[in-house]
Amino acid sequence: MKRSAIHLIRAVAAVLAITLLCALASQAATSGSISGTVKDPSGAVLPGVALILKNTALGTPYKTTSDANGYYSFPNLSVGEYDLTLALPGFKTMQKSGIVVDMDSALQINVSMELAAQSQSVLVSSTVAAEQVQVETVATHLGEVVSGTQMTALPLNGRSYTDLLAIQPGVSPVTTLTPTSVIMAGVTGAINPSGDLNPGDVSIDGQRESANGFMVDGTDVQEHMNGGTSVIPNLDSIQEFRVLTNNFDPEYGNYNGGMINVVTKSGSDSFHGDAFEFLRNEMFNANDYFDNAVGNAKPSYKKHDFGYTIGGPVYIPHHYNSNKEKTFFF
């Protein structure tokens, strides 16, 4: 083989390795996990239990089997709601539904299976309220998750998720940046990388605003000139975001303040979308008392914020893609 061909193969291998590492890093930053132990009514561990975890929106199944110690694990799960089914001959088939996986979450679900006299199954349904107060006993980090439903239900002038950072414990909406701040040699003044939106310059646990990290779908989007984020997704396109304030994993070791992690929505196995307009107009406002006294009209103020989202499955002929139900767009 010629030397040039060898160099080409090595270069391709290096690119593939880097791509794989980036993909793994992205998964670690935007995914969660479920693990636990399966036991019988007496408390003895059950090896060989077949477990199937299914994403209710995407229909994606994950399969595993409990080991000799009854332990099972589903790592690197995308954010969403899941159903877990457990089956073993001689025991009732058990299903747990409504399991919510958030980003950076590590859920521990231990299961005790019941003996089956005949063909029987047990269904355990989890409510949204119960999942929201579930205590993580595996992950060490501290931080609050804000869902897309909560974000869109709150009135936000500008509709930026960064306006919600200060509602988290330990987060203070303060910044040391002023119009006279020296950003770098020969450059002064506060730079707003997000246009008219709030760049998210906050102090977390007393650290400087430049000590915070921002990630969108596992990609670093911090504005490195003066802190804050350089990318603010459409509010309706965000699945959820999480502010990690303490004890987060080594993958976030580049920052000693906090870590703001955003996950955007993905399509599902059915078509969904929305369209919106947020309107401000002086006709909705009362006039100032003193302007009324002298007959002055209300100042003109009109603002329209339009947008839409749409997502769903991508239908590809079977001879091109045998897993067409696993291909989605948003």
Q: What is the pLDDT of residue 128?
A: 47
SS3 48: coil
Each residue of 81-135: pLDDT tens digit?
Answer: 999 999 999 899 999 998 998 888 888 999 999 987 765 556 666 554 444 445 5
Query: Who's near 31: CB < 8 A, 6+ residues apart?
Result: 75, 76, 77, 78, 79, 103
Tell me: do 215 and 280 sit in the same domain: no
**CB-neighbour burial class of residue 146 (10 A; exposed 0-12, middle 13-18, buried 19+):** buried
Q: How far is CA 78 from CA 22, 30, 62, 105, 256, in A?
A: 16, 7, 11, 10, 26
Each residue of 56-88: pLDDT tens digit?
Answer: 888 888 999 999 999 999 998 988 899 999 999
Tell me: do 163 and 245 sit in the same domain: yes
Tell me: do 285 and 244 sit in the same domain: no
Q: What is the pLDDT of residue 18?
A: 47
Q: Of 264, 286, 302, which residue sits at a domain end?
A: 264
Number of domains in the chain: 3
Q: What is the pLDDT of residue 127?
A: 52
Kindly report the CATH number assigned to the domain that includes residue 83: 2.60.40.1120
Which residues form the domain of 279? 272-329
Q: What is the pLDDT of residue 129?
A: 46
Q: Of 97, 132, 167, which residue sits at a domain end?
A: 132
Kindly report the CATH number assigned to the domain that includes residue 223: 2.170.130.10
Tell me: do 124 and 153 sit in the same domain: no
Tell me: do 60 and 77 sit in the same domain: yes
Tell me: do 177 and 240 sit in the same domain: yes
Q: What is the pLDDT of residue 72?
A: 96
Residue 55 in domain:
yes
Regions in the chain scoring below 50 on pLDDT: 12, 15, 17-28, 128-133
Report if pTM > 0.85.
Answer: no
